[in-house]
A = this chain, B = another copy of it.
Amino acid sequence: MTTRGASPEGADPLREAQDRFVAVWGQMAGAWGISRTMAEVHALLYISGEPLCTDDIMERLDISRGNASMSLRALLDWGIVERAHKRGDRKEYFNCEQDVWTMFRAIVRERIKREVDPLLASLFEIRDLTPESKVPGAATHNERLDALVDFFSTVEKLGHRFVSPPGRGLQLAASLLGSFVGASSRPAPTEGKP
């Protein structure tokens, strides 16, 4: 169906842009430690901006029902997609959080919980394996562990600070740091970046 018609109406540029966005977002997935499909589902819900049902997603992304279901479940767990319903329709629809800052606050919250907190717990345990009184040679080893503990404690506190208020955590941090953000101030739009 995507065969380009010679007429100006042949291609749908909006659809095309959406597909590009879905692909780009999907590529990021690896770096973020989630599956490509999960990222694509999220991308589709975000960029289309309206509630979609499982079948919409299956068809648009060409994935199986099971895959769509599991990806949606994971997105719900992350708190960046929510269920929605249409009157007189038994199907479930899904809606992506549309405020970017709220979305990333949810992501940060979840990653702290899943990654930073367990890591800190492990670091404490590991440090307790080598009390200097019992393990004389462990001084520098313990210092190295402490340095990591300090670092991740800071990250955790900063994260909570970013996550908890309804306000603009990161933006606030940014302006406090002296950079004025808020206008997108992009480089030349048409062609690629330096």
Contact = CB atoms under 8 A, between A and B. Distances in A.
Interface of A: 13-14, 16-18, 20-21, 24, 28, 30-33, 46-47, 49, 98-101, 104, 111, 114-115, 117, 119-135, 137-138, 140-142, 144-151, 153-155, 157-158, 161, 170-174, 176-179, 181-182, 184-187, 189-193
Given A16-B129, A129-B13, A130-B13, A171 B193 contact: no
Given A140-B49, A173-B173, A187-B124, A150 B182 contact: yes
B161 A181 contact: no
Contact of A119 (B28, B187, B190): B28
A114 B32 CA distance: 12
Given A115-B28, A173-B158, A177-B176, A120 B186 contact: yes
- Report how many copies the assembly holds: 2
14 contacts: A13-B130, A14-B138, A17-B126, A17-B129, A18-B141, A31-B111, A33-B33, A46-B144, A128-B190, A131-B191, A142-B191, A146-B193, A157-B179, A173-B177
A169 B28 CA distance: 26
B144 A49 contact: yes
A31 B28 contact: no
Contacts of A128: 189-191
A151 B46 CA distance: 14
A167 to B, nearest CB: 12
